[in-house]
Amino acid sequence: MTHTIRTSLVEDVRRLPYFHADLDNKAAKKILCDFIKEDGCFLLRPSSSENHACTFSVTNQGSILHVKLFKTNSSQYHLDVDQTPFPSIQRLVAHYSNSAIPCENYTNMKFIFPITSKKQTKLQRISECSIDTATVSRPLPAPPLENLDKKEEVIKEEVCECGLQKSNLAAGWTVHVSHEPATRGLLFFQHKDGLKVWELPIDIVSLLTSEQRNFLQANGYRGALT
């Protein structure tokens, strides 16, 4: 059985566009009431009942339900209603956007429409994700990457069109920041052949310099760097 530690999730969730740091149970319900007729609208907030935990609030069958999010001692994430662990919160949300969250008395509860603002009026589906490989690929509309075939002599400090500096990594891989509403601010990786993934392949991680590892961590990357 996976052991869960009461560790703070603040650093892990603060960059997620659907995380609301200042909401409690009552405030979350007030926001989601505007979307009560649409199943799958969700947001993430600090837990009102348990320190160092977070809670997903989600619309389902005309109700607003609350599901706690925990982090394990092996830095994985799971819901209180399901012990299935995931290596990142993004992977967890992507999984439950396609598979129903196991919850007694409610069926087909999913994370479909992220609520990213208290004043949000339109709904946009969470980015779809394939979770059956170690290097997860999502159809992100990445910024145009026209300089991938340049020689390695290109200055590393050059700013990418996504706005991120030092985008060149190793073996034809570059790092970029998403500007999509549902994944805004999260890092993703692109190979010169066009492959895009959310988690850098482990064999490429071993080729990173200390400076590159520090750069990824400083910009909020939560994948494995060891």
List, for residues 19-42, the tens digit of each pLDDT value. Answer: 999 999 999 999 999 999 999 999
pLDDT band at 158 (very low <50, low <70, confident <90, very high): low
The percentage of residues in the chain with a pLDDT greater than 90, rounded to a whole number, is 25
Report if pTM > 0.75.
no
Residue 43 has pLDDT above 80, yes or no: yes
Burial letters for 103-137: b for 16+ Cβ neighbours within 10 Å, e otherwise?
A: beebeebbbbbbbbeeebeeeeebbebebeeebbb
Of residues 103, 102, 106, 76, the one with CA closest to residue 90: 76
The whole-angstrom separation of Cα 86 and Cα 79 is 10
Residue range 8-13: average pLDDT?
A: 75
**Which of the pair, 124 or 184, is modelled with greater confidence?**
124
Written as six digits, the tokens of 28 are 């979350």
Confidence of residue 8 (pLDDT cuts 50, 70, 90): low
Q: What CA–CA distance (Å, rounded) separates 131 from 94?
A: 8
Residue 85 confidence (pLDDT) above 70:
yes
- Pick the range with the lowest mean pLDDT from 30-34, 104-108, 154-158: 154-158
Architecture of domain 4-114: 2-Layer Sandwich (3.30)
- Please give the pLDDT value at position 143: 45
In the chain, where are the structural domains located? 4-114, 127-226
| Higher pLDDT among residues 88 and 220, named by residue | 88
Mean pLDDT of the region 142-165 = 52
Among 74-78, 177-181, 198-202, which range has the highest average pLDDT? Answer: 74-78
List the single range of 15-29, 121-135, 212-226 with lowest mean pLDDT: 121-135
Is residue 67's pLDDT more than 90?
Answer: yes
127 pLDDT band, cuts 50/70/90, is low
